[in-house]
Structure 1
């Protein structure tokens, strides 16, 4: 896999070709090929220029990002499902939605930072502008999958606030049988994060999965 610096030094079409040539993951190679066929790779040079110096370079290194996020989609079973409704909380540059689109699912994002609007628009990732706050409802409906990767909201939330949030996601925003996956940057041993690991339905590395059981 290309490093972020290597990828950002190349035009997107060349980065995709090199990434296809270096991965042994057939599905990832197919995803790279699909991106090249469905997006204007020449136009992406302007996107990279517009965002240079404004955001972390990793967020414009699409090959690197989707390579890291694709396992999350697989853990959620996106590759074996049809016509799912997905939501990405803190959608940022829109790469999780991009992967959902690749699998033929309906993707929405939710993010409070307008800075990423241009990137989300390029990847055709519709997003609702909203700041996630403890105890406050989300302006969204129900989904089969909800993702929140490298979550930055809730840094100072109490264990009780996280319990309420997870409970609300499961009850109000997940379809029966659906899953919510969340992961955090930084220290995994903070009390609230350790509590969530104990509550999770399953764990994959830093990723914690919470499942809404099917109705009986």
Structure 2
């Protein structure tokens, strides 16, 4: 089904206008890609398994990521700088680039398929493994929009799933070193077995920062990252971040 996945509802009827616009824009973005080079890239990596193969459906990924760009208003906004964390094959960044924005990605440095796709799309990227309680690499610039889609760097499907402490450190690093004043952070979570997208405690933590939360997505502005913590939540954060 177009508006559902195997788990929770992915899109609703109210998303139809955005979906139709995303489909149109994605088709135009697709037409701007060197199709012969794309076929060369997927041909080189055809035997690598699902981690690469899942990205071969170019039109599907462009439509999906164009939807994310539209949800953030990037199809209608003026020039913006965009940082995508865990950028993978680069489809979201390419959509943003097609819309006229300045883009950069961070992802694993040692995955050849990602490197080839990033080169195909003409994107800039920093190779880095995102880990708990570890600052991101110095890029020496700031961004208006910072995103992370279908997040796996948070210990997805492991016993080391990030909690409040890890996320507080991570968001603090983004705020201090990467996010422009007035900028936004948009996170898209994968579902965890028996938990859902996040624990109740983590959702409360995000809510304390006046985040907009819907369908596994968490969107917050820099102005609210630190200003809205209640005394009770502040104590939880302090306990979680004690090392």
1:58 to 49, 54, 59: 54
Match in the other structure for 1:145 = 145
Q: CA deviation at 1:26?
A: 3.8
Q: CA deviation at 1:197?
A: 4.4
Q: Which runs of 5+ in 1 are unaligned?
A: 3-22
Find out whether 1:85 has 2:90 as its counterpart: no
Q: Is the 8 A contact 1:159 1:195 kept in 2?
A: no
* TM-score normalised by structure 1 residue count: 0.79
Find out whether 1:171 has 2:145 as its counterpart: no
Match in the other structure for 1:6 = none
Q: CA deviation at 1:196?
A: 4.9
- CA distance in 2 between counterparts of 1:149 and 1:85 reads 17
Q: Is the 8 A contact 1:92 1:113 kept in 2?
A: no
Q: CA deviation at 1:213?
A: 2.2
Q: CA deviation at 1:189?
A: 4.8
* TM-score normalised by structure 2 residue count: 0.71
Find out whether 1:132 has 2:127 as its counterpart: no
Q: What does 1:23-172 align with in structure 2 at a 5 Å threshold?
A: 25-36=20-31, 38-54=32-48, 55-115=51-111, 116-139=114-137, 140=139, 141-155=141-155, 156=160, 157-172=162-177
Q: After the TM superposition, list the runs of 4 or more consecutive aligned residues in structure 1 that deviate by more than 4 angstroms.
A: none
Q: Which runs of 5+ in 2 are unaligned?
A: 3-17, 225-243
Q: Is the 8 A contact 1:170 1:211 kept in 2?
A: no
Q: Is the 8 A contact 2:191 2:197 kept in 1?
A: no
Number of residue equivalences: 193
Q: CA deviation at 1:131?
A: 1.3
Match in the other structure for 2:185 = 180
Q: Is the 8 A contact 1:86 1:107 kept in 2?
A: yes
Instruction: Summarize the Cα distance change of 1:135–1:206 in structure 2 as closer, same or farther, 3 Å threshold.
Output: same
Q: Is the 8 A contact 1:142 1:173 kept in 2?
A: yes
Instruction: Summarize the Cα distance change of 1:45–1:212 in structure 2 as closer, same or farther, 3 Å threshold.
Output: same
Q: CA deviation at 1:168?
A: 2.2
Q: CA deviation at 1:93?
A: 0.1
Taking only aligned residues, the RMSD between alpha carbons, in angstroms, comes to 2.4
- CA distance in 2 between counterparts of 1:148 and 1:189 reads 14
